[in-house]
Structure 1
Amino acid sequence: MKNHNIAVYPFTAIVGQEKMKKALVLNLINPKLGGVLVRGEKGTAKSTAVRALANLLPEIEVVEGCKFKCNPQYQKELCEECLGKLNAGNLRVSRIKMKVVDLPVSATEDRVVGTLDIEHAIKKGEKRFEPGVLAMAHRGILYVDEINLLDDHIVDVLLDSAAMGVNTVEREGISYSHPANFVLVGTMNPEEGELRPQLLDRFGLCVDVKGISDVSRRVELIKYRLSYEADPEGFAANWQAAETELCGQILTAKQLLSEVRISDDMLELISQICVDMGVDGHRADITMMKTSITLSAFNGRADVLEEDVKEAAELVLSHRMRRKPFDSHSDKQDKLDESIEKHREKQKEKNKEKEQNRDQNNQEQQKQDRKENPEKTHEHPEGQQPENAQSNAEGQPDASSETIFATGESYQIKQLAPEFIRADRKGSGRRSKTFTSSRQGRYIKSAIPHEKTTDLAFDATLRAAAPYQLTREKNGNSIIIHDPDLRKKIREKKIGNLVLFVVDASGSMGARQRMVASKGAVLSMLMDAYQKRDRVGLIAFKGDSAELLLPPTSSIELAQKYLQEMPTGGKTPISRGLVKGYEIIKSELRRDPDTCPFMVLISDGRANVSMNGEPPLHEIITIASRLKEEGIQSAVIDTESSMIKFGFAQQISTALGATYLTLENLKADSIVNAVRASAPFEIMMHPGVSSV
């Protein structure tokens, strides 16, 4: 190794995490696999492995001075500048190490794809392109930590470029393209929120990582790290032989890749597994086929075996199997083994059928031979096969006193138009509309820019310049644009909300299965929140307190888990539940003023304990009125279902200024309608907020 790379921790010295290392290596061998998503805990060597892998391979050839690091061996992939150098005969070659490019979570679209100077193009008639992260990552590795926190639109751009190998930037009819072949590596912690299934599906491979549980292996890891920190160069030198061996195996596999063949039998196995696992679409089949071929090449074989397909399935299907966010967990490995066994049984049946057809054909042929040559009938009596008609039906071998109430049925959600929020808010989602300064929003109108803009409204600029064209000197130009003519685009996009559930978990909720129905209602809202990219929180109140079971999070799976495990019993401190909800909402607004909060109170309203000794209902009405004054939007779901109704929940709803629904009409579309109808038009965060 060269001196400037000595300090990099060796890839082969990483302890454990074999699946993650295998997935990374496979993407180096075959970049067309579509990248790898690594899900799991912090501190599990994800970034270390990526940087070590890039340092493992030898230097690559590039066109000297090219900002895209074009490959001089492939003329079709050269950028415009390199093609010009090639035609002029002054294209020079240099060698560099493969790079790892980090993409920060705060990256904008312009930072990722690059920028076209539209103003320069209009005034000068020339293209001027400033490369972005995708250009820097060409022929290297693009590493995106916490990819689930990126805006969905940015993730779409990354995955499109990773799949196509080209980045195309278009602004107002001006287009610029450059090669963007890179290995995409994304990492995420599922508890901080999942990627949308459509985005998950476009990652080729996925591995789940966690800390090593074996004590001896953890001790080994610590010793390696201490040795590396004490003498990086010496530690790397000790692993040089292993690094060289793995590097040679990768390079050999890259050469062998085009020679690997996959049989129809293995293709049938791949499709059988995908059908049995219930994955949507056909991307899984195609990616599993490519991964199986790559595994075969990595193992030095030119034919794909069943073991390659099985290993490929474990890497390709883990993030594609779940159709709904709250499906019960199943043993994926058992399902995979069952699918492989089913394929084996089918192959046995096919072999048996082939044997029977062959025997039948042999018997018919023997009969025909006896008719044509009667003197030879004694050589092969009927029912006895000749020695050269040996059976081949071997087949393949066999492999062989509080209560926790259930969650009620969830409902299909009716889609309604969300409220329009006029503030320029950050974030992503699919519920409420907001103005945005980012480019992924929809262009709705134009405005005069107060500073230089890269998001030029071409149509509005031309309209502003048109009245002055007769009086301006054109000097051969068709149209003259001055700075006062420039207009920028005003865009809008959708963002998610913070939905905070405040759930009555007192003993009275256990009567008449009200808690079962209430949990079903919350589950329906969680389904909608999952689809709309909302954040959710869960507060339960019972006894003498209210508890935040789940802080606001994007992990809807986690919210559903806490909902299922929520116990019921004790008194009904509604006022404490409302105060707790208020505190959480205000805390979230201080942390992020762009938050759009909405509180859903689910209770029968029969409070029987207060905070300050005054009548419980009077105290609740006072607190609810304060919440209404603060502009906190809410809905109340009344779970009272007895023949004689007291109407306490309705009084609380009136004091809150909330949408009111009863348990009898508690259907998912009604609840969601209530939430959306009450969604905040504009929630302002005022300094010095006082507590309730």
Structure 2
Amino acid sequence: MKNHNVIVYPFTAIVGQEKMKKALILNAINPKVGGVLIRGEKGTAKSTAVRALANLLPEIQVVEGCKYRCDPNDVNAMCEECLEKVKAGTLKSSSIKMKVVDLPVSATEDRVVGTLDIEHAIKKGEKRFEPGVLAYAHRGILYVDEINLLDDHLVDVLLDSAAMGVNTVEREGISFSHPANFVLVGTMNPEEGELRPQLLDRFGLCVDIKGIMDVARRVELIKYRLSYETDPKAFAAGWQAAESELCEQIILAQKLLPEVKISDSMLELISQICVDMGVDGHRADITMMKTSITLAAFYGRTEVLEEDVKEAAELVLPHRMRRKPFDNYSDKQDKLDESIEKQREKKKEKEKEKEKNKNEQQKKEHNEQSGKEQALSEEQKSDNPEDSTGEQPDASSETIFATGESYQIKQFSPDFRRENRNGSGRRSKTLTKSTQGRYIKSKIPEEKTTDLAFDATLRAAAPYQLVREKNGNSIVIHESDFRQKVREKKIGNLVLFVVDASGSMGAQQRMVASKGAVLSMLMDAYQKRDKVGLIAFKGTGAELLLPPTSSVEMAQKYLEELPTGGKTPLSHGLMKGYETIHAELRRDPDTCPFMVLISDGRANVSMNGEAPLQESKTIASMFRKECIQSAVIDTESSIIKFGLAQEISNALGAKYLALEDLKADSIVEAVRSSAPFEFSVPSANFSS
């Protein structure tokens, strides 16, 4: 049970992280900004800031007894029960603090959106809804730590509800909706894997945070924390004035927000920045406009200025500028000032042109007036005023930006199934116990289920309706009739690269070609949300450069820095790959591994004194025996070929590709044609 007497750390006492605090404040002022994604290291006050902000904000008015905490002053956003109270004249209100609702990574769809009691609906013909996290988060803050590890489907649900302000649950033809207006705050560590670009784009703001590097500020932070832990009440009291001041500023900004105006020139600046930064779609333009208006209100102004747009761009664009994995977007940050300066020059040119046209018009009018006066005095004279010859402003010049290296990735879907495999991804099909995934058939439930197969349940009950007592019910369902849905979903795999980094790989650009191929496969792994790992063998041993991770960018970094030289300890590399796969299987039995060996097969270093090639074949046969899928890329390119990599491939039971086929598309195609990835490992092998 939560202790409601805990003194929350003051928001204004948080040292540093100004962008994060500003992004949270802007969402509190205007929830239509669209939430915030906070990327960075652990221990940087992310959750502290969220809870402190909720504690800072004033209490909200709610309908007394409403589980959705409806606003008593907004009839249009009320739930059905509150509307009934309004009609009956029994609606009462009360005040509560804004809530912060945590969503765990392990949450199921039913836990998030809520669920309908299907059994009650069938027997009684009544809807009975059990609220989920989205209901509890209404008019509060929904905090999702490590959102990049959350299943894509759940992230979609969260973002849809956050954008629409309504959560709708539909099961077996029965639909139920309730208000779900909340500020979505997601946090993630990019090294653990990225969100898909489509999901990143739907977060309004994004900030990247790091630990404070200034020693004096770190000391200040330590002192504050020590003082807070020693006497929380006294520490909070010392910051009460600052908290009240910021709270008042937020309240005033909320009231001022409808009065803020944004000029056409500022809208042009926003669009020019988005064009120059190369962002896709128009969500960035709209979000930057909303953020600029909110910033102006926060600063107490009713007009958006250039500095508001610039500050908004720094919060709106970071997660939208990257077009592909492995792109470096730090250089694009510098283009922000260039884009603003370009717009300034255009504005100056327009003002000059406007002034020029104004002067010419005044000159024309002066000449016309002079002509009239002269005509009146001379009666016979006429005057032809000079024509205006002002030029129109030049159209803005088009800017073409360079495009990085592209990777052509074909789609493939291995057709394998394994009972009750957990995880998320887009690679391989699996059966799942969760309520996520496609309904493919039904079965008798082993325990109580909320994922009832309505059609199958009715079919099971139908033959007994003539002999069952109805007691006024149109249909009678017994527990023995219940059928549970069997669902199918997709998950990712583990792709482990075992790369020969010996001296022979430096000849004839072999390593260059190999790295290019691996990068193409990393792109494919990124899109399918696979885990990747990297092992290199050279000299007298093998090294696990990158343990299995969802961060394909880390794999790319290690691959680029991989040195080449020395002998070829092939058996060491294979054994290291075998051990890495089994270690991952012990940690996560649902893992589906796939090994890619890139080598010419010329083993010349032994582990145990056995002939190096034979030793490598012996270890390779262990992969084949346990049905661990693999592929071998033979880098041998000499005129006289020994075919050693082919022998290793046969021992592995792997897909084989020769050097002349060593192209990115060929390797990726080879891995795909090695499907399915299904494997089985004797349980005895998992013992430590």
- TM, length-normalised to structure 2: 0.93
Match of 1:675 among 648, 660, 671: 671
The amino acid of 1:39's aligned partner reads R
1:635 is displaced (CA, Å) by 0.3
1:475 is displaced (CA, Å) by 4.2
The answer for the alignment partner of 2:325 in structure 1 is 325
Query: SS where residue 341 of structure 1 aligns?
Result: helix
The answer for the alignment partner of 2:51 in structure 1 is 51
Are positions 1:516 and 2:512 aligned together? yes
The answer for the alignment partner of 2:568 in structure 1 is 572
Are positions 1:253 and 2:253 aligned together? yes
1:65 is displaced (CA, Å) by 1.1
Query: SS where residue 442 of structure 2 aligns?
Result: strand
The answer for the alignment partner of 2:39 in structure 1 is 39
1:523 is displaced (CA, Å) by 0.2
The answer for the alignment partner of 2:196 in structure 1 is 196
1:280 is displaced (CA, Å) by 0.8
Higher mean C-alpha displacement, 425-434 vs 60-69: 60-69
Deviations 1:29-77 (A, max 9, x none): 0011111111101111111111111110121111111111111111111
Q: 2:426 and 2:589 mapped to 1: Cα distance? A: 19
The amino acid of 1:564's aligned partner reads E
Deviations 1:406-458 (A, max 9, x none): xx976412212323223220000001000011122011111121222111112
The amino acid of 2:567's aligned partner reads K
Are positions 1:355 and 2:355 aligned together? yes
Where do residues 364-375 of structure 1 align in structure 2 (5 Å cutoff)? Answer: 364-374=364-374
Contact 1:593 1:685 in 2 (8 A): no
The amino acid of 1:450's aligned partner reads E
Contact 1:598 1:680 in 2 (8 A): no
Contact 1:10 1:52 in 2 (8 A): yes
Query: SS where residue 418 of structure 2 aligns?
Result: strand
Deviations 1:303-329 (A, max 9, x none): 000000000000000011000001134
The answer for the alignment partner of 1:290 in structure 2 is 290
Higher mean C-alpha displacement, 16-25 vs 339-348: 339-348
Q: 2:305 and 2:5 mapped to 1: Cα distance? A: 37
Query: SS where residue 570 of structure 1 aligns?
Result: coil
Where do residues 120-269 of structure 1 align in structure 2 (5 Å cutoff)? Answer: 120-269=120-269
Question: How large is the Cα RMSD of the aligned pairs?
Answer: 2.3
Contact 2:414 2:677 in 1 (8 A): no
Deviations 1:365-408 (A, max 9, x none): 34433443326999xxx9x99xxxxx9xxxxxxxxxxxxxxxx9
Q: 2:172 and 2:472 mapped to 1: Cα distance? A: 23
Match of 1:607 among 603, 609, 618: 603
The answer for the alignment partner of 1:582 in structure 2 is 578
Q: 1:276 and 1:85 mapped to 2: Cα distance? A: 53
Query: SS where residue 689 of structure 1 aligns?
Result: helix
Are positions 1:485 and 2:485 aligned together? no
The answer for the alignment partner of 1:552 in structure 2 is 548
Match of 2:422 among 411, 423, 426: 426
Contact 1:411 1:667 in 2 (8 A): no
Query: SS where residue 194 of structure 2 aligns?
Result: coil
Contact 2:593 2:677 in 1 (8 A): no
1:681 is displaced (CA, Å) by 4.9
Contact 1:441 1:493 in 2 (8 A): yes
Q: 1:176 and 1:305 mapped to 2: Cα distance? A: 44
Name the CA shift for 1:377/1:513 in 2 (closer, same or farther; >3 Å).
farther
Gaps of 5+ in 2: 391-403
Query: SS where residue 159 of structure 1 aligns?
Result: helix
How many residue pairs match? The answer is: 668
Deviations 1:144-202 (A, max 9, x none): 11111111111111111111111111101111111111111111111111111111111
The amino acid of 1:506's aligned partner reads S
The answer for the alignment partner of 2:399 in structure 1 is none
Contact 1:423 1:682 in 2 (8 A): no
The answer for the alignment partner of 2:394 in structure 1 is none
1:641 is displaced (CA, Å) by 1.7
Q: 2:152 and 2:452 mapped to 1: Cα distance? A: 23
Contact 2:35 2:204 in 1 (8 A): yes
Contact 2:626 2:680 in 1 (8 A): no
Contact 2:40 2:208 in 1 (8 A): yes
Contact 2:249 2:298 in 1 (8 A): yes
1:349 is displaced (CA, Å) by 2.1
The answer for the alignment partner of 1:687 in structure 2 is 683
Identity of aligned residues (%): 79
Match of 2:432 among 436, 439, 458: 436
Q: 1:507 and 1:106 mapped to 2: Cα distance? A: 46
Query: SS where residue 414 of structure 2 aligns?
Result: coil
The answer for the alignment partner of 1:404 in structure 2 is none
Query: SS where residue 660 of structure 2 aligns?
Result: coil
Contact 1:117 1:454 in 2 (8 A): yes
The answer for the alignment partner of 1:85 in structure 2 is 85
Name the CA shift for 1:12/1:6 in 2 (closer, same or farther; >3 Å).
farther
Contact 1:99 1:140 in 2 (8 A): yes
Match of 1:660 among 656, 660, 671: 656
1:4 is displaced (CA, Å) by 5.6
The amino acid of 1:347's aligned partner reads K
Deviations 1:584-639 (A, max 9, x none): 00000000000000000001111221112222111111111122112211000111
1:691 is displaced (CA, Å) by 9.8
Name the CA shift for 1:520/1:257 in 2 (closer, same or farther; >3 Å).
same
Deviations 1:493-549 (A, max 9, x none): 100000000000111001000100000000000000000000000001100010111
Are positions 1:540 and 2:536 aligned together? yes
The answer for the alignment partner of 1:405 in structure 2 is none
The amino acid of 1:458's aligned partner reads F
Q: 1:236 and 1:81 mapped to 2: Cα distance? A: 39
The answer for the alignment partner of 1:398 in structure 2 is none
Q: 1:638 and 1:364 mapped to 2: Cα distance? A: 82
Contact 1:370 1:377 in 2 (8 A): no
Q: 1:173 and 1:581 mapped to 2: Cα distance? A: 50
Contact 1:421 1:680 in 2 (8 A): no
Q: 1:329 and 1:573 mapped to 2: Cα distance? A: 38
Contact 2:60 2:95 in 1 (8 A): yes
Q: 1:29 and 1:410 mapped to 2: Cα distance? A: 41
The amino acid of 2:267's aligned partner reads L
Q: 2:562 and 2:376 mapped to 1: Cα distance? A: 85
The amino acid of 1:281's aligned partner reads G
The answer for the alignment partner of 1:468 in structure 2 is 464
The answer for the alignment partner of 1:626 in structure 2 is 622
The amino acid of 2:455's aligned partner reads D
Query: SS where residue 101 of structure 1 aligns?
Result: strand
The amino acid of 1:214's aligned partner reads D
Q: 1:127 and 1:441 mapped to 2: Cα distance? A: 24
Q: 1:690 and 1:443 mapped to 2: Cα distance? A: 33
Higher mean C-alpha displacement, 5-14 vs 59-68: 5-14
Deviations 1:555-612 (A, max 9, x none): 1111111111111111111110000000000000000000000000001111221112
Deviations 1:273-301 (A, max 9, x none): 11111111111110000000000000000
Q: 1:496 and 1:679 mapped to 2: Cα distance? A: 13
The answer for the alignment partner of 2:115 in structure 1 is 115
Q: 1:233 and 1:691 mapped to 2: Cα distance? A: 52
1:215 is displaced (CA, Å) by 0.6
The amino acid of 1:503's aligned partner reads V
Query: SS where residue 328 of structure 1 aligns?
Result: coil
Q: 1:313 and 1:141 mapped to 2: Cα distance? A: 24
1:12 is displaced (CA, Å) by 0.4
Q: 1:358 and 1:145 mapped to 2: Cα distance? A: 58
Q: 1:535 and 1:317 mapped to 2: Cα distance? A: 27
Query: SS where residue 424 of structure 1 aligns?
Result: coil
Are positions 1:617 and 2:613 aligned together? yes
- TM, length-normalised to structure 1: 0.93
The amino acid of 1:417's aligned partner reads S
Are positions 1:417 and 2:413 aligned together? yes
The amino acid of 1:491's aligned partner reads R
Q: 1:92 and 1:220 mapped to 2: Cα distance? A: 47
